[in-house]
Chain A
Amino acid sequence: MQVDLSRFRETFFQEAAEHLAEMETGLLRLEQGSSDPELLNSIFRAAHSIKGASGMFGLEDVARFTHALEGLLDRLRSAKIEPTPQRTDVLLEACDVLRDLLATSASGGPVPERMESALANLYIAQRAVPPPADEPLRIRTVAREVVLAHAPVYRVHFKPAPEIFIQGMDPLLLLRDLAGLGESAVADVDLTELPLLADLDPERCYLAWNVCLSTAKSTEEIRDLFAFVEDGAQIRIEAETADKAEALIPPPVAAAGLAGSREASIRVSTGKIDKLIDLVGELVIAQSMAKEVVGNFSLSRLGQLQEAVADMDRHLRELQERVMGVRMLPIGHIFGRFPRLVRDLSIQLGKEVRLQLEGEETELDKNVVEHMADPLTHLIRNAIDHGIETAEERRRNGKPGEGSIRLSASHQAGSVIIEISDDGRGLDAESIRRKAVERGLVAPTDTLSEAHLHSLIFAPGFSTAQQVSDLSGRGVGMDVVKRNVEMLNGSVSLETQPERGTTVRIKLPLTLAILDGLSLQVGSETYILPLASIIESIRPGRAQLSTMAGQGEVILVRGEALPLIRLHRLFGVPTRVVDPCRGLTVIVEHSGHRLALLVDELLGQQQVVIKSLEANYHKVEGVLGATILGNGRAALILDVAGLAQIARRASHTELVA
């Protein structure tokens, strides 16, 4: 839905001017030595408001500029850096530039000349003072591969004498030579001494480098490289042993989304492998016994054969379980980053939050664990950003000033349940409903069940947050959380109580690869339907069948009209069963939506191993994957979400009877 925002531009510029004035007043007070702790916060918020709003109106330059402004203000208000006169100058100049920029944006003119240099100064001013000499060198994540290599790892710190350029030496050549010694990783450049552009002498070297390097060369050989530049330079070469090198690996950065940094290999404890080997051994024994009986078979040995087969069955199951277990990781693997996240966010947002972790040892499939990192991060951010109130507000409402968030994981009957609970302000049904009406998702007169209201929260683009928060700026909304969870064959739901808090509950299958399914027949083809999605199966009476305008065929079940999908038609499989009253109709459900599927008959319930269809073919809508049946044939596993999607389009296609 395209909304014409141009009428609001005038308002934006007015508000921006007000915020800008606030910023300047604040900065002047700061300069005069005001010790008001809230001052920096309010200056920050003013910049933040301009930034957020500018994004809405497509004012890219304003957004980019205020982003840098915000960055500096943020560091100041979180006391990572001090408000020096130099920095205040930079900020005041930035305000001037911003004023000009707003004017040119409004009139459509070119950006102010000073903008780029003011921008550069904003970034340079964010640099903190150099760390004390004995602080460990920072090493970028990229160094991971090098660190795990066999050759010894060195950390080299090189700060050339400022006159190095004048002496005709280019430090980059040294870095190049260092890199040539082995598998060099990363030169992390240290800009802390870089002055403001106006003070910069281009013939002086202000830079220093920290290099993480893997090489078979000795410390002396490395030092030799620096022979020409030793005088006046700071050179430190430290060798790391392999174990210490591991400690240098920073904690895993949150997986960059589903397509991102998933490792293609895993580490497995030798204990697990040993157990697997044992099991395979036992399986081989059981199998040879069965073979023996079969080889010398007589009916009297039938019992023995049955026993042998049962043995094999048992061992196979256990083998299956254990092989799956090889890919299991404790969820603590991703929980570990959250205490820090909570701490940083609480400080950033000025709230007091305590995080409780439970069930870190709960194991899940490695893929599942990795894919849950982002959704969980988002949910926690949400809880702190929107759920937990400020300490002040909480105390006013008789709650303890410190909010708490409980993140727990547990096994329950073949699934893993992950819960994120906060004792914040809960979700307001009224504002959800209002937002939904505003977004056109529901009509003003619709009555909504609580479940429906809650499911609206997971609709794309839905947010009741008053402020456009840039915390979730990477586009991870509740709908993405839901999609991610469902991609893992899981489900997400929430419970909330106004003023008491909200709990988001994620249910995930214990392993990705096994599904409890119901096999069904359509024509000559067998399909598998995930058991979890099935509500019931019925044989409707003629009175229940109907056609609705704009919706195609429907079946009336307990007063509700469910779209009817004829699988034989959808899949192009010839069958004699085309009358819903003769075949079987399976009612399935997906995120609150129900539909009815017409099949020939149900065959039975079975656990199937999910095989990828996409690996060698491609994704097919309505199909979740494939499996191999007991008879060796491939069968498709149906994806109810996909079928629901198809149903929604049903009124426009020939699926309509």
Chain B
Amino acid sequence: MAKTVLIVDDSTSIRHVVSYTLKQAGFTVLEGANGQEGLAQLDGQKVDLIVTDLNMPVMDGIAFIQNVRSRPACKGVPVLMLTTESQDSKKQEGKAAGATGWIVKPFHPEKLLAVIARVLP
């Protein structure tokens, strides 16, 4: 059965690239433009993986991750952060909030799939 991935990023182009890559690879993809929209998606369904940007309006990545981790339905779901090179402290914060790992932007779609393979059985 296809796994479901939630991509949360305020950049439409990034969402499109990620969504396209994942769909090609056989995943079902849900999207959110910010933390709040992401949570709304989670209200409705179960996901197997979450990929989220950190800098977003309305609700940023860190708050989003914290919220995700407080949800019993999301227990054990891997969360990958999209970070930029210079954002080391953000990475730490993200980990502290409960993120599983990260992907550094800009990334090649192949790399996205490779990192995802590491955290999904």
Contact = CB atoms under 8 A, between A and B. Distances in A.
Contact of B98 (A167, A170, A177): A167
A168 B79 contact: yes
B99 interface: yes
A165 B100 CA distance: 9
Contacts of A169: 78, 100-101, 119
A167 B118 contact: no
Contacts of B92: 231
Contacts of A225: 118
Nearest to A177: B118
A203 B72 CA distance: 12
Query: Which 6 A-B residue pairings sit nearest by Cβ, starting from the closest?
Result: A228-B101, A168-B78, A168-B100, A169-B100, A167-B100, A168-B77
A168, A228, A231: residue with the most chain B Cβ atoms closer than 10 Å: A168
A166 B121 contact: no
B76 interface: yes
Interface in B74-119: 75-79, 92, 95, 98-102, 118-119
A173 interface: yes
Contact of A166 (B69, B101, B118): B69
Interface size class of A (residues with CB under 8 A): 10 to 19
B118 A228 contact: yes
Contacts of A79: none
Interface residues on B, range: 10 to 19
Interface string A216-258: 0000000001011001000000000000000000000000000
B102 A166 contact: no
Contact of A173 (B95, B102, B119): B119
Contacts of A166: 69, 75, 98
B69 to A, nearest CB: 7
Nearest to A172: B121
Contacts of A173: 118-121
Nearest to B49: A168
A490 to B, nearest CB: 55
Given A167-B100, A227-B101, 13 more contacts: A166-B69, A166-B98, A167-B95, A167-B98, A168-B76, A168-B98, A168-B100, A169-B78, A174-B118, A228-B100, A228-B102, A228-B118, A231-B92
A168 B98 CA distance: 8
Contacts of A168: 76-79, 98-100, 119
Contacts of A231: 92, 95
A174 B69 CA distance: 21
Nearest to B102: A228
B85 to A, nearest CB: 14
Nearest to A227: B101
A167 B95 CA distance: 8
Contacts of B119: 168-170, 173, 228
Contacts of B118: 173-174, 177, 225, 228
A165 B76 contact: yes
A167 B100 CA distance: 5
A327 B121 CA distance: 48
B99 A167 contact: yes
A228 B95 CA distance: 9
B50 to A, nearest CB: 8
B100 to A, nearest CB: 4
A167 B78 CA distance: 7
